[in-house]
Chain A
Amino acid sequence: MIKNIYSFILKRYIVITPLLLVLIVAQREEYSQLTTSGTFGSAIRLAIPIMLAGLGGLFSEKTGVVNIGLEGMMIMGTWFGAWGGFTYGAWQGVFIGMLGGALFGLIHAIATVSFQVDHIVSGVAINILAAGVARFLNVISFEDVAYASSTASPRITGEIGKMTVPFLAGGPINDEETFNLFGSIENLDIFLISDFAGFILGFLSNISYLTIFALAIVPFSLIILWHTPIGLQMRSVGEYPTGSESLGVNVYLMKYIGVTISGALSGLAGAYLVVGGTGIYLEGQTGGRGFIGLASMLFGNYKPFGILMGSGLFGFADALQLRSPQAVHGLLIVISIFLFVLVLKTLFEKKYTQSLISLLFSGAFLIWFLNSTTIPNQFVYFTPHITTLIVLSFANQRIKLPEKIGVPYKKGELN
């Protein structure tokens, strides 16, 4: 067990080092927003849609089907989520949103699996199609409904409850306040412990049941894909379809299942935006989150918990720039020191050019940090994207793609 953790740290130092650095920087008063429970709570809410899209991508790509149609399936999730939510209620909206996404997943599966259409082409078509279909459906469904328009739906009926855990986070029991353990720890301002308490508190207080449901999908995906016979079959289809078929696996069926689940999860991501947000479908509301989900899947190296971390990182950076542009300035020194760690690592591995480049950038960030007190708003706004890009560029050397990804498979042919 301890050995496992140790090797995990070694493998994931690229995530763990910056985290530690952030914790240290957060001790300064002006950067304290880096680790408050509010920031973490916000990060979770912003990360969930991306995470769900990433998990959607995982299910599809593990069966060998590239899915850049995640965005489109997410759009269907937003519209069907809003429609279902308006017609039947919040939770029903969530499941109808999933069905809407699954429907488009199925279309993608029919195109790519049964008709061997190029996966990218089909994905792009899905994205275009979904944008049009959503607007079309919105216009015809809500034509006579008050407060709806061609680009916005009326508000959904009902809402999904929220909870705060009693005792640990001060949630009420029978309307009576209870002790707020982690909240008190956070307020004590002890190095590391208070920051960690803030992190936990973000997960425990004021959290929507829908968020819990979404987070539960992470271990669930892991179990399905890696610990069940059907998961094994799904993965084998992505790695070596001919071999799988020779062993009696129904390759087409597995791919269909994978891509449809992918659509359902993207649909859930869309429904989360609507139902977990302000309860209204707005055109263009997904804002490229599906593509970022795809990036988080690569970041997570096709592992559910990796995807959780990747999307969490993006959500965290997004929350930070929204909440405290000041704290983003603190990230400069984090990047600088992290690059210096890389300098040492590459020196150790005798990669001198890389080492030199890292050193130069490390110095540049250090100078920038020391000579400024704020960051221009333009940079602040792009923090999540830049952070993801930087991390991805360090992480991508070790990505293990499924062997036969994007390769059309025809039954009975050697592939």
Chain B
Amino acid sequence: MTRMKSKWLVLFIVFGLILTACGGGSDDAAEEEVVAEEPAEELDSPATTAAAAEPVADPPSICLVLDIGGLGDLAFNDLAYSGYEKAIEDFGMVGTFLEPDGGGENRGELLELCAEAGNDLIVGNGFLFDAAMNEVAPSYPDINFAITDGVAEPGNVRGMLFKHAEGSFLAGVAAALKTTTNNVGFIGGVDFPLIHEFEQGYLAGVAAINPDITVQIGYASVPPDFSGFNDPVKGKEIALAQYEAGADIIYHAAGGTGTGMFEAAKEVSEATGTKVWGIGVDFDQYYTVGNPLPELQEYILTSMVKAADVSIYNAAKATVEGTFTGGPSVDDLSTGGIYLSYSGGYIDDIKDTLEEYKEKIISGEIVPPSVRP
């Protein structure tokens, strides 16, 4: 009886582990895409300067490692993915994309996996990759690495930075001009310096229009818990509280958590009869949230778009052309890497004022703060 028991136990656990492995592995295999086998002309292109070990005939390859939340967050990760897809399409690259497990502990392993497969460009989507980059990149000096929202020490890593404060400032201006209750809100995903850039820029933007406007600030989680970027239930509860306390516009910088905020906007609008709004982030969420969830579209005032997709596309382009450089590269309002979207036409009436502030920021007359005082 005991032998039988332990046999079942072993079988059971092994079965569990196999399935776990399948769960992680199957999508890696399934999502590997070979879009176009580029013919001979690709041979002469300097595309393969980076990967010396690769046979010259191979098309250039790109590997994208997403961050917590994975594909389908309708924000940060989907944005990176769209840039990656465009690069594959335009440059005939071979693409692989990977998603870390729930807690994101295996970032380093995934980067290593990409590097061992001999990819020409490896993108880590999110500042949390910095430690893993520092570890992995030096061992593969011939491979180009890129990290969004962060910097890493090795010379072959491009840090793709964004001046979130500039875009958030404009979001603040829009909120301040549009509010009728003189009360607006902000929801951050995780309470740490990167999100403080959004918060501070927003606060400054609101104050530039009317210093008497109340700004309510809420966060979904604090480090080391980064679940706040992927918890729509909490996003909804925070937003409900802020709307109840009088806010009529809330700006979120919280990834997938923000979907809950738009849900709350709909619920509150329907319950009270007065329309309240949400401001999206990263993507033009009028489309990214509005397409799968059409009933939420009319509550999305605008979005603070950060074109990480363009940055990733540019990194891929540089890799293909052999002009890739490491080190930090910054996108802001002037480069078009950051902008406020006008989709839906809800802020068309204040476009002049927004443009005015945009010019002031570009000219340096206004410098939105990006750190907490």
Contacts and interface: CB of A to CB of B under 8 A. Distances in A.
Contacts of A285: 230-231
Contacts of B20: 128-129, 131-132
A184 to B, nearest CB: 17
A116 B237 CA distance: 43
A277 B236 contact: yes
Given A149-B70, A277-B236, A322-B237, A128 B16 contact: yes
A125 B8 CA distance: 12
Interface string B15-26: 111011111101
Nearest to A140: B26
A329 B322 CA distance: 57
B237 A206 contact: no
Interface string A351-389: 000000000000000000000000001100100000000
Interface stretch (A21-29, A151-159, A228-236, A299-307): A151-159
A250 interface: no
A378 B5 contact: no
A221 interface: no
Given A38-B240, A152-B71, A277 B232 contact: yes
A117 B12 contact: yes
B285 to A, nearest CB: 13
Nearest to A114: B8
A319 B99 contact: no
A143 B30 contact: yes
A206 B236 CA distance: 14
Contacts of A206: 267, 271
B8 A135 contact: no
Interface string B54-67: 00000000000000
A133 B17 CA distance: 10
Contact of A322 (B15, B27, B218): B218
Contact of A146 (B24, B231, B292): B292
B234 interface: yes
Interface in B95-109: 99, 102-103
Contacts of B271: 206
Contacts of B8: 111, 115, 117
A133 B19 contact: yes
Contacts of A131: 20, 23, 102
B69 A151 contact: yes
B64 to A, nearest CB: 13
Contacts of A283: 70, 102
User: What's the interface size class on B, roughly?
Assistant: 35 or more
B238 interface: yes
A284 interface: yes
Contacts of A282: 69, 72, 230, 232, 256
B131 interface: no
A319 B16 CA distance: 36
A136 B23 contact: yes
Contacts of A154: 292
Nearest to B243: A38
Contacts of B9: 111, 115, 117-118, 121-122
B260 interface: yes
A45 B22 contact: no
A146 B232 CA distance: 20
Nearest to A49: B233
A378 B232 CA distance: 20
A391 interface: no
The binding surface of chain B is classed by DSSP as helix
B350 interface: no
Contacts, number: 144
B17 A128 contact: yes
B191 interface: yes
A408 B123 CA distance: 51
Nearest to B73: A152
A250 to B, nearest CB: 20
Contact of A150 (B1, B71, B221, B225): B71
Contacts of B22: 132, 136
A376 to B, nearest CB: 9
A218 interface: no
B120 interface: no
B16 A129 contact: yes
Given A115-B8, A277-B232, A319 B237 contact: yes
B40 interface: no
Contacts of A273: 233
A248 interface: no
B4 interface: yes
Given A115-B8, A125-B13, A135 B24 contact: yes
Given A129-B15, A377-B222, A324 B241 contact: yes
Given A117-B5, A121-B9, A135-B24, A151 B72 contact: yes
A324 B233 CA distance: 16
B284 to A, nearest CB: 16
A206 B268 CA distance: 11
A17 interface: no
B232 to A, nearest CB: 4
Nearest to A41: B240
Contacts of A151: 69-72, 99
Interface of B: 1, 4-5, 8-9, 12-13, 15-17, 19-24, 26-27, 30-31, 69-73, 99, 102-103, 191, 218-222, 225, 227, 230-234, 236-238, 240-241, 244, 256, 259-260, 263, 267, 271, 291-293
Given A135-B23, A278-B259, A377-B191, 16 more contacts: A45-B233, A111-B8, A115-B5, A118-B9, A128-B16, A132-B16, A206-B271, A282-B69, A284-B102, A284-B230, A285-B230, A322-B218, A322-B238, A323-B241, A377-B222, A381-B219
30 contacts: A33-B241, A45-B233, A115-B5, A116-B1, A116-B5, A117-B5, A117-B12, A118-B9, A129-B16, A129-B19, A132-B21, A133-B23, A135-B23, A135-B24, A136-B23, A143-B30, A146-B292, A147-B292, A149-B71, A150-B99, A151-B71, A152-B70, A277-B232, A277-B236, A278-B259, A284-B227, A284-B230, A322-B237, A381-B191, A381-B225
